[in-house]
Amino acid sequence: MATGDKLRFAVQDNGEVSALLVRPLAAQRLLVLGHGAGAGMAHPFLENLAGELAKVGIATLRYQFPYMEERRRVPDKPDVLAATVAAAVRLAAETAPELPLLAGGKSMGGRMTSQAAAQNLLGSAKGLVFFGFPLHPPNRPSIKRAEHLAKVRVPMLFLQGTRDTLADLTLLRPVCAKLGECATLHVILEADHSFHVLKKSGKSDTGVMTELAQTTAGWAEKLNN
């Protein structure tokens, strides 16, 4: 059974933010998990995801970005977001030094994690996991947001839905192919950016959450600890 611990940590000159550690008894690794732009770490998607990850032996450390902690609507500047990711990873390393670390997040949280990794701010992270990488704004195809990924030196897992309007797969597939062995793309049929699926898909949202967790665990097991 997973247990949850409330934590706090400092982010440079931006005060302190909240974090939540969910650690199953048989945890094998720890994933530092950032939230999306419009919802904090307590969003049901992340709550459910943390629960599913716990079932497959992955502990999670969810955390707030400063703007969300202060209940502001507009996200912090990129350097503040990247600094927050780096501070969360350091906290994870200090809290569970015996567990191999992964980092990532939902949408913006994943993208900012990749930005921090590209700046070599996540020294102890073994790999990155993106739950819906926001390749471009909704229905505005572009690959500009992927340019920094070539600077990331650890394996990356992209979990994407075919109905995701923030990641045109005809663009994302070539991006991942160009990254070579560093990138793994797992596509979930009929899932949107929030990983909701249509009834005609024959899947359920619960089943998709299980798939996300199991895919992450299977990928992580192949990494060098």
Contact criterion met (CB below 8 Å) for 64 and 17: yes
Number of compact structural domains in the chain: 1
State how far the Cα of 160 lies from the Cα of 156, in Å rounded to an integer: 13
Q: 51: domain CATH number? A: 3.40.50.1820
Mean pLDDT for the stretch of residues 97-125: 97
State how far the Cα of 132 lies from the Cα of 129, in Å rounded to an integer: 9
The pLDDT assigned to 224 comes to 67
Strands (E), 107-173: 125-131, 156-161
The pLDDT assigned to 1 comes to 37
Closest Cα to residue 32, out of 102, 91, 110?
102
Residues in the chain: 225
The alpha-helical segments, DSSP class H, found in the chain are 44-55, 66-69, 78-95, 108-118, 169-179, 205-221
The pLDDT assigned to 44 comes to 95
Q: Tell me what percent of the chain is helix, strand and coil, each rounded to the nearest 5.
A: 40, 25, 35
Domain that holds residue 38: 2-221
More confident residue, 98 or 139: 98
Per-residue pLDDT of 130-153, as tens digits, reads 999 999 999 899 999 999 999 999
What is the residue type of 142? Answer: S
Per-residue pLDDT of 174-208, as tens digits, reads 999 999 999 999 999 999 999 999 888 888 999 99
State the SS3 of 60-117. EEEECCHHHHCCCCCCCCHHHHHHHHHHHHHHHHHHCCCCCEEEEEECHHHHHHHHHH
Strand, helix or coil at 209? helix
Per cent of the chain over pLDDT 90 is 92
